[in-house]
Structure 1
Amino acid sequence: MLVMTFVTKTLSAVSGGAARAAAHSVTGTKNLVRAFLHRREVMRLSELDERGLKDIGLVRSDIDGALAVSWLSDPSSVLQNRSSQQQSAAVSRREAGVRRPVVIQAAVRPGAKEIKIACNA
């Protein structure tokens, strides 16, 4: 009885390991196919002109940098990171401009009142 229990546990451990190995290979294959498809889409983005890229928040060097990663890596994740970094930098610049108004002094003729204009640039 003891031998049968030992053999059963050993076989179940082997089948569990084989199932995990199969799942890892399927996941790896799926990720490789996804990276290949995303690379094709990024290559299509490289066909856009500078204005089209600017509309989606990218520049040509972003596309070139994304295509420079390994063929096994997903280039769209690189583009997503760069785009989010640029957006957060733009938001922080906008917020800084709103918080600190710039005072512009106009040239004044002698004897006239001084005019100050504040703007959020």
Structure 2
Amino acid sequence: MLLMTIAAKSLSSVSVGITRIATVGFGGIAQFVRAVIHRREVMRLAELDERGLKDIGLVRSDIAGALATPWFKDPSAVLADRSQALTDTAAARREHALLHAPAHPKRAANIDLAVARCA
């Protein structure tokens, strides 16, 4: 009985180990396949002209930087990071402009005209 218990526990731990190795192995293969597919899509983006790239918020150097990553890494992650950085920069500029803009520019212009007429 004790021998069967030891054998059953040993086999269950082996199956857990094999499952873990298979999961990591297949996960790596899936990640590699995803990287290859995304690299082909980024290469298609490189075929666009400057206007087409600008429409989607990219420039040629973004594409070149993404394709400069190692062949087994996903280049779309680089494009996503650059896009997020541009979005964050634009949001910061908008916020800065709103903080430093006059409250009502049309009213301020009308008040200036009224003062000028009275003088």
Tell me the distance in 1 between the aligned counterparts of 2:3 and 2:63.
Answer: 62
Between stretches 7-16 and 35-44, larger displacement belongs to 7-16
1:2 to partner: Cα distance: 1.3
RMSD of aligned C-alpha atoms? 1.8
Q: What residue is the counterpart of 2:3 in the other structure?
A: 3
Aligned length: 106
SS at match of 2:19: helix
TM-score (norm 2): 0.82
Tell me the distance in 1 between the aligned counterparts of 2:88 and 2:19.
Answer: 43
SS at match of 1:24: helix
Q: What residue is the counterpart of 1:83 in the other structure?
A: 83
Write out aligned runs for 1:22-41 (5 A): 22-41=22-41
TM-score (norm 1): 0.81
Larger RCO (CA within 8 A; separation ≥ 6): 2
Q: What residue is the counterpart of 1:72 in the other structure?
A: 72
Write out aligned runs for 1:1-121 (5 A): 1-101=1-101, 113=116
Q: Which runs of 5+ in 2 are unaligned?
A: 106-114
- Where does structure 1 differ by over 3 angstroms across 4 or more consecutive aligned residues? none
Tell me the distance in 1 between the aligned counterparts of 2:24 and 2:34.
Answer: 15
Tell me the distance in 2 between the aligned counterparts of 1:82 and 1:101.
Answer: 28
Tell me the distance in 2 between the aligned counterparts of 1:49 and 1:55.
Answer: 10
Tell me the distance in 1 between the aligned counterparts of 2:31 and 2:13.
Answer: 27
Identity of aligned residues (%): 54
Q: Which runs of 5+ in 1 are unaligned?
A: 104-111, 115-121
